[in-house]
Amino acid sequence: MENFNRQYRFSAGQSGAAGFELGEGNPISPHISFSIQKQDMETSNSAKITLWNLSKEHLMALEEENCMVTLKAGYGGRMPLVFMGMVSHTVTTPDGADTATEIEAVDSLAEIRDTYISVSYAGNINAKKLIDDTAGQMGVAVTYGHDVSFADIPNGYAFIGKGKEVLNKACSVSGASWSLQNGILQVKKSRGVISQEVYVISPETGLISIPKKIKLAGDDTGGEQSGYEVVYLMNAAIGIDDYVKLESRYASGFFRVQSLKIDGDNLEGSWQCTAQLYEVV
């Protein structure tokens, strides 16, 4: 019964200010539908969330500048964080006798869009110092992979501009990669995982598809990779760059989560995750 009773919590408002929350309905929560795209890349994760019959006050809050939204979803009392980001666009249209408000949001939009930084160092500077200082100026927390290491940059380093350019520099010299996940900067070894904790994806834990073979084209960090695309019941606890063990009679092994598509509708349709899993290097 643990995979029944679809539940969500959606909240919106300006950072540090009172907002509103939906999802704890009696006897039923307001209708919500969402599609979240996440990936292990420098581009931001995105969300499309549709809510029906919002009040005038809710609509006004969503229209405020720099409105932040969070979405948690799962079953019963288990509702991991699915998405956190800033609203980039909203539109409300008639839907029969109802109204439907579509919200588009981007993970860490303000941090990427608005933050210019200034750094200057003499002599050798370690790439991790660059990342720490850049994250500090961007106002984001950093999580480091368990096995990532950082190179020294000789002869000093100075830069004024968008913070992502410094992150690119620090990671490129260290064989690392970065992405922003729910407002947190993740830095880990290229094609590696963020931690050693392993999540099991199997029929017993919610796997609902036959794993489909896929390939990832080569890039600057290595050659072509093989992997699988899998579909499983909603489990937002599994995130980008997490370490997973796939257990199926069609495919098995240890992989990293390269991309995620999370689709949900609390009244009808999907309530599931689609993940692309690739080899851990």
The CA–CA distances, whole Å, from 157 to 125, 139, 164, 175, 185 equal 7, 21, 15, 18, 22
Query: Which segment of 13-22, 170-179, 183-192, 257-266 scores lowest on mean pLDDT?
Result: 13-22
Q: What confidence score (pLDDT) does residue 109 get?
A: 83
> How high is the pLDDT of residue 26?
65
The mean of the pLDDT values for the chain is 92
Percent of the chain with pLDDT over 70: 96
Query: Is residue 249 classed as helix, strand or coil in its secondary structure?
Result: coil
Mean pLDDT along residues 38-58: 92
pLDDT band at residue 258 using 50, 70 and 90 as cut-offs: very high
Q: For residue 259, give the nearest of 248, 247, 244, 281 by alpha carbon.
A: 244
Quick: pLDDT tens for 61-77.
999 989 999 999 999 98
Q: Quote the pTM value.
A: 0.90
Whether 271 has a pLDDT exceeding 80, the answer reads yes
Mean pLDDT of 238-251: 96
Label residue 27 by pLDDT band (50, 70, 90): low
Residue type at 49 in one-letter notation: I
Q: What integer pLDDT is reported at residue 148 of this predicted model?
A: 95
CB neighbours (10 Å) of residue 133?
Answer: 18
- Residues 250-263, mean pLDDT to the nearest whole number: 96
What separation in angstroms does the CA of 126 have from each of 107, 157, 191, 260? 28, 10, 21, 32
d(CA 103, CA 47): 8
**Phi, psi for residue 160 in degrees, rounded to 5:** -130, 120
Average pLDDT over residues 257-273: 95
